[in-house]
């Protein structure tokens, strides 16, 4: 395969990426692309991720990028992280939040029976942590005027996706924090956005019950097909670069058109096939499906 073109979009810029774990991670791909686009980057994750992931490998790929251990749900960790980052790099041009975790999803608890301690933890780690990162980046003066702050979201922030459970609530919080911070950061020309990404096979993604079916459904509903982690990273480069200086407070869909579709021909064809083929219905787990409400007779 030929090497992809790079454009020096982040030449001379410095930044930190929170959340790369392994090659499948969206954060990993963003780190690799930021490095290739000319940025000097630091990588951060929790201590356990450093033990179980391949972060040292990522650091080597990205020109021996410094690795900073930080639990984004702990004030002290986040403060120390930005102090260390500033010592190493001075104030940075971009911050990427690529963090998500739900114990309720891991344990597959029904939404009606969530464990509230885990629920609070989901909101804290996956939503509030963005607030904390921005807050301490400002307090420690570790972020430059004109910087770009980016987090990853999913459409379940706005619509119901049954198995996405409390992560949907966390994503709503995340997107709301982006809006609340927007005008405040704009005083320093700092912009803040989320990218709302297609379902993607990563550690966090594939832990969602029925992920495979969600992935297939989304692919059929997206005119351009699901977007990969690598494609997400490519799009992220424009948001971290000076090419998007006036884009802020946005939830930017990067989903192959999924969010604007009503129905697609492949989806309608599949529905017809399933309705007319009991064996196929059984194969996709719809043989015992009964609608919540009977349709009125025509």
Ligand X SMILES: NC(=O)c1ccc[n+]([C@@H]2O[C@H](COP(=O)([O-])OP(=O)(O)OC[C@H]3O[C@@H](n4cnc5c(N)ncnc54)[C@H](O)[C@@H]3O)[C@@H](O)[C@H]2O)c1
Q: How far is the CA of 172 from the CAs of 102, 168, 204, 236, in angstroms?
A: 14, 6, 17, 20
Min dist. Cβ of residue 49 to ligand X (A): 4
How many CB atoms are located within 10 Å of the residue 91 CB?
16
Name which position in 40, 59, 98, 140 contacts ligand X (CB under 6 A). 98
Q: Is 59 in the site for ligand X (CB under 6 A)?
A: no
Min dist. Cβ of residue 189 to ligand X (A): 25
Closer to ligand X by CB, 83 or 274: give it: 83
Closer to ligand X by CB, 21 or 237: give it: 21
Min dist. Cβ of residue 98 to ligand X (A): 4
Q: Is 49 in the site for ligand X (CB under 6 A)?
A: yes
Name which position in 73, 140, 226, 250 contacts ligand X (CB under 6 A). 73
- Taking the C-alpha atoms of residue 75 and residue 255, their distance in angstroms, rounded to an integer, is 33
Min dist. Cβ of residue 245 to ligand X (A): 24
Distance of alpha carbon 33 from the chain centroid: 16
Name which position in 102, 140, 197, 218 contacts ligand X (CB under 6 A). 197
Q: Is 88 in the site for ligand X (CB under 6 A)?
A: no
Using DSSP, state whether 148 is helix, strand or coil. Answer: strand
Judge whether 20 and 98 are in contact, CB under 8 Å. Answer: yes
Closer to ligand X by CB, 47 or 275: give it: 47
How wide is the angle at C-alpha 30 spanned by C-alphas 24 and 32, nearest 5°? 85
Q: Which residues is 40 bridged to in the sheet?
A: 14
Q: Which residues contact 226 (CB under 8 A, 6 or more apart)?
A: 198, 199, 200, 215, 218, 219, 255, 256, 258
Q: Which residues is 68 bridged to in the sheet?
A: 44
Judge whether 36 and 242 are in contact, CB under 8 Å. Answer: no
Q: Give rounded-to-5 percent helix, strand, coil for the chain.
A: 50, 15, 35
Q: x/- contact string, 119-158, with ligand X (CB under 6 A)?
A: ------x--------------------------xxx----
Min dist. Cβ of residue 293 to ligand X (A): 30
Q: Is 164 in the site for ligand X (CB under 6 A)?
A: no
Site for ligand X in 225-284 (CB under 6 A): none
Q: x/- contact string, 13-32, with ligand X (CB under 6 A)?
A: -----xx-x---xxx-----
Residues in contact with ligand X by CB under 6 A are 18-19, 21, 25-27, 45-46, 49, 71-73, 98-101, 125, 152-154, 197, 199-200, 202-205
């Amino acid at each position: 395969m030929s090497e992809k073109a790079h454009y020096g979009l982040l030449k001379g810029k410095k930044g930190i990426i929170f959340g790369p774990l392994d090659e499948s991670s969206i954060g990993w791909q963003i780190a690799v692309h930021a490095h290739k686009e000319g940025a000097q980057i630091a990588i951060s994750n929790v201590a356990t991720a450093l033990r179980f992931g391949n972060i040292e490998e990522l650091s080597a790929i990205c020109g021996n990028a410094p690795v900073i251990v930080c639990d984004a749900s702990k004030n002290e960790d986040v403060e120390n992280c930005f102090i260390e980052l500033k010592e190493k790099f001075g104030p940075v041009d971009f911050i990427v939040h690529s963090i998500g975790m739900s114990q309720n999803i891991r344990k597959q608890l029904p939404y009606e029976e969530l464990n509230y301690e885990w629920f609070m933890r989901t909101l804290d780690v996956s939503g509030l942590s963005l607030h904390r990162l921005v807050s301490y980046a400002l307090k420690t003066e570790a972020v430059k005027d004109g910087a770009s702050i980016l987090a990853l979201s999913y459409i379940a922030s706005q619509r119901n996706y049954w198995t996405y459970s409390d992560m949907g609530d966390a994503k709503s919080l995340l997107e709301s924090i982006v809006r609340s911070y927007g005008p405040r950061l704009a005083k320093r020309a700092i912009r803040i956005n989320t990218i709302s990404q297609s379902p993607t096979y990563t550690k966090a993604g594939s832990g969602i019950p029925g992920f495979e079916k969600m992935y297939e459904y989304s692919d059929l509903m997206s005119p351009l097909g699901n977007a990969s982690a690598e494609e997400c990273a490519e799009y992220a480069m424009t948001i971290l670069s000076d090419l998007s200086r006036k884009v802020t407070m946005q939830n930017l869909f990067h989903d192959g058109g999924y969010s604007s579709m009503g129905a697609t021909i492949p989806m309608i064809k599949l529905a017809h096939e399933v309705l007319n083929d009991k064996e196929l219905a059984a194969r996709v787990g719809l043989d015992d499906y009964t609608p919540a409400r009977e349709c009125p007779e025509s």
